[in-house]
Structure 1
Amino acid sequence: MRCLGGFPPHRDRIPVPNPSPKPPVRRGRRPGRPLAIVAVLVVLALAAGWLWHRHQAAAAQGGYRTEAVQRSDIRVAISSTGTLSAISTVTVGSQISGQVTDVLVDFNSHVKKGDVLARIDPSTYEAQLEQGNAQIASARASLRNAQAGLKNAELDYQRKADLGRQQLVAKSDVDLARAALDQARAQVNSAQASINQQTASLKNTQVNIDRAVIRSPVDGVVLTRSIEPGQTVAASLQAPELFTIAEDLSKMQIELAVDESDIGQVKAGQAVSFSADAFPDRQFKGVVEQVRLAATTANNVVTYPVIVTVDNGDGTLLPGLTVNAEIEVNKRANVLKLGNAALRFKPSEGSPLADLQPADPGRQSQSGNRGAGNANMAGDLQDLAATLGLNDAQKAAFDAALEPMQQRQAERAAQQGQGTQSTQQQGGSRLFGGGPRFGGQGGTPDAGMQAQMRSRMRDRFNQQFAAFTATLDDAQKTKWNAAMEAQLNAKRVTIYKLANGKPEAVMVRLGSSDGSSTEVSGPDIAEGDEVITGEKSSAEAK
């Protein structure tokens, strides 16, 4: 039986042998997977190491924010505003009244001394001049008439005097002749005086005619012109201002108003830098010329005028410009400086830093300095002496005065035992202050104790260096005394730095400050030291 389509039934199909089956493929691990796993493990190990290192660093810092001590320059400047003006400004006026006929100069005109600036109609004064000439002529005629009368009186008196001696005329006639002679002489003198008076009046009229021509009294530039041709000038009570002339604009000045709190730092010769809104891309230079004593008070604020001279050789600066100036009162080059945040930092109550006290100058601190307090002072004195230009005898006297200090330094450096521990237990240095015994916060002595310490140190230094200062001249002695006072009066504060990963309280001496950073010096502070500026919160520490 066949199926439809001609195909044999299933049972009639011829069996076809099955092909040999393929061997099963074994799925093993890929060759790159072990490397990836190793790389992941390495990354995890590195991350764990970094986290551990960060944790250790945070633990070493104890959860503090720090700032590094830098070595740089510090520039201390006082800011003020002022107005530019010519050093010498002349106001040209008129001493006579009249109508202006000519104006020969304009604004910004360059004039020389004696140049004609304007003319005033002199007709009135010319008429007075003619009248004066006529009066002089009349007075001269009167003089000649008086002189003739005098001559006649003299002859009459001579005749009557001769007759009187011969007793030919009465004595009264002789007296009358003498009186007439005296009257004639008086008339001559009066006529002469009238001539002199008219001559003087004529000279005054001539001066007024000359004043009708307005001339420049100086060489300079016309800044302002207040008249026009045809304008009438009235000079009855005061001279009207016609022109303003700046004598020399190549040299100008600025009048700054400096606050009373800053005026003590301003001295003649200090450098000044300033800018003007008209030239925003330029910085100009000047020098303090004068600190005037004429203080002014406005809104309970006292200011003093400070005059600054400026070189304007290129003619860029213009009179009247408002400038913003900075007076450089101090500049310290290549000094250690620290941000003011570190100087203001005070440990909170319960902080581990609150129990730290500044190192004593005679003991060895954690940073490794030993006996550095006296060493620092001795070094400062040696640097000061190097600037005085000492001769051999003065150098020998200085070395002899400094030797006891150096000996004390060596003795304190050798102390490592009981004396050091005793001093440390007492709470810090007596020289620099510290500890509860001084009554200050953070190891800083109060004002009264600081004043007492400065007084004792001043007396000790004066006694120790008395023989040396006696060899100095006046200039050297002034410089030495000023530097010593600066050393003694320098403010000292306690700061907290990290030494070998541990916080340490040290005393530093403050110097110049530019408002954001302050110069610091001391035996236990160096460039790169990390100084604590604040304590991190728990979130920051994590």
Structure 2
Amino acid sequence: MTSKQPTEAADAIDAAGPRRKRSNRILWIAGPLVVALVAGYFYITAGRYTSTDNAYVQADQVTIAPQISGRVVEVAVRENQQVRKGDLLFRIDPEPLQIAVEQMEAQIEAAGDYLNASRDTYRSASADLRASEATLRNHEAQLQRVRELRARGIVAQKALDDADNDVATARGSRDADAAALAKARTMLGGAVNTPLTELSGYKVALAQLAKAKLDLSHAEVRAPIDGTVGKTHLQAGDFLNVGQAAMPLVSHTVWVEGNFKETDLTHVRVGQPAEIEVDTYPGHTWTATVSSISPAAGSQFSILPAQNATGNWVKIVQRIPVRFEITTGDEDGLILRAGMSADVKIDTGKQNSLLGRWTGKTGPDSKVAMTR
């Protein structure tokens, strides 16, 4: 019994030997193959995707400011309230503006009466001019007769002097009446029959009335776009000047702006697909496309751009803004708000290949579109 057990153990060892050799052979073959496949995958896809976590949700923002000055009498919205285009935001006291409209309407009527009176003045001046011209002709004829009589010695020199004086007086009256007529004609636009609405004075009054009505319409400040009211402290009773910021309005239309390193944009083109993850909603992905690439690095738009041609210089990789248009439809309960942090990954479609290495083509040949 004792001698039989070592024999069985030896037989088991002899039987396990071929199996172990077979397993080792499989590992020696499969191991390098798996490594080659993994390395090939990473080689082919290397450079296809570029990503950044320096990305943020953006939205258009409008600063609401009045176009007239006045005291606020009503605030129709509250902070963080959603509004539609045309909704009332706040109202400025309209009473002074209504008074201005009524005043200009009265001035329009007064201008009409004044211009109608100018027509009567023109007719009167025209009649006066005709009378003064007739008087002048009469005195000139009288002067001629007195000269003839004086030449014959029939009348005294005083009579001739009086006739000369009458002609000079009549000529002066004629000139004054002619000037009055010219003035009346100018007030009527050069012609007595010019329509009232074509006269410059009446047009000025109409323009002032239109301005007063426009100011009155601006007493009600309404939303220019669909959006959400931002942080505001506006209260009834506050006085606002023209152009003074009253409240911000953030648009409902959002996009994502990613600030990529310049070295990561080698194969990025407008129209390429992208995926976006927002930190607020981990695990959820939005699909998007590259809608535009900034024409300059972000540092170029700063108040004090870098002056690399002076002093000591250290090379720093620049960031270039890339805008993404979200193509995913509305997500239930997932609201994107301006300023949220995001991660962006772009599929450039670029793939490595031995054929590409040999021919010098390592990616799609497309033009870069530079837009806003």
TM-score, normalised on structure 2?
0.67
Q: Select which of 220, 229, 234 maps to 1:228.
A: 234
Rounded to whole Å, the distance in 1 between the matches of 2:25 and 2:281 is 55
Q: Pick from 55, 68, 87: which aligns with 1:82? A: 55
Amino acid at match of 1:199: L
Give the fraction of aligned pairs with identical amino acids, expressed as a percent: 20
- Which has the higher mean CA deviation after the structures are superposed, 266-275 or 171-180? 171-180
Superposed displacement of residue 257, structure 1: 0.4
Residues 1:144 and 1:304: Cα distance change in structure 2 (over 3 Å): same
| 2:312 equivalent in structure 1 | none
Task: Show the 5 A alignment for 1:24-423.
Answer: 30=1, 33-45=2-14, 68-70=35-37, 75=45, 76-80=48-52, 81-86=54-59, 88-107=60-79, 109-164=81-136, 167=140, 170=167, 172=171, 173-187=173-187, 193-218=200-225, 220-224=226-230, 226-236=232-242, 238-246=243-251, 248-249=252-253, 252-297=254-299, 300-310=316-326, 311-314=328-331, 316-320=334-338, 321-330=340-349
- Residues 113 and 44 (structure 1), Cα distance of their counterparts in 2 relative to 1, 3 Å cut: closer
Matches of 1:225 and 1:66, distance apart in 2: 61
Distance 1:164 1:65, change over 3 A: same
Instruction: Answer with 1 or 2: which has the greater Rg.
Output: 1
Gaps of 5+ in 1: 1-29, 337-376, 381-484, 492-510, 513-542
Q: State the Cα distance separating 1:279 from its structure 2 match.
A: 1.2
Q: Give distance in 2, aligned partners of 1:201 and 1:225.
A: 37
Q: Distance in 2 between matches of 1:183 and 1:292?
A: 64
Structure-1 residue corresponding to 2:156: none
8 Å contact kept, 1:259–1:301 = yes
Deviations 1:156-194 (A, max 9, x none): 112333454565583614333222322333455699644
Q: CA deviation at 1:288?
A: 1.0
Provide the C-alpha distance between the structure 2 equivalents of 1:55 and 1:314, rounded to a whole number of angstroms: 53
| 8 Å CA contact retained: 1:92, 1:245 | no
- 3-state DSSP of counterpart to 2:203: helix
In structure 1, the residue corresponding to 2:344 is in which secondary structure?
strand
Q: Which amino acid aligns with 1:322?
A: S
Query: For residues 145 and 202 of structure 1, what CA distance do their matches in structure 2 show?
Result: 22
1:68 Cα deviation after fit: 3.0
Query: For the structure 1 residues 73 and 301, does the alpha-carbon distance in structure 2 shift closer, same or farther, using more than 3 Å as the test?
Result: closer
RMSD: 4.0
How far off its partner does 1:98 sit? 1.8
Structure 2: any 5+ residue segments left out of the alignment?
A: 143-166, 191-195, 300-305, 307-314, 365-372
Q: Do 1:97 and 1:232's aligned partners in 2 also have CA atoms closer than 8 Å?
A: no
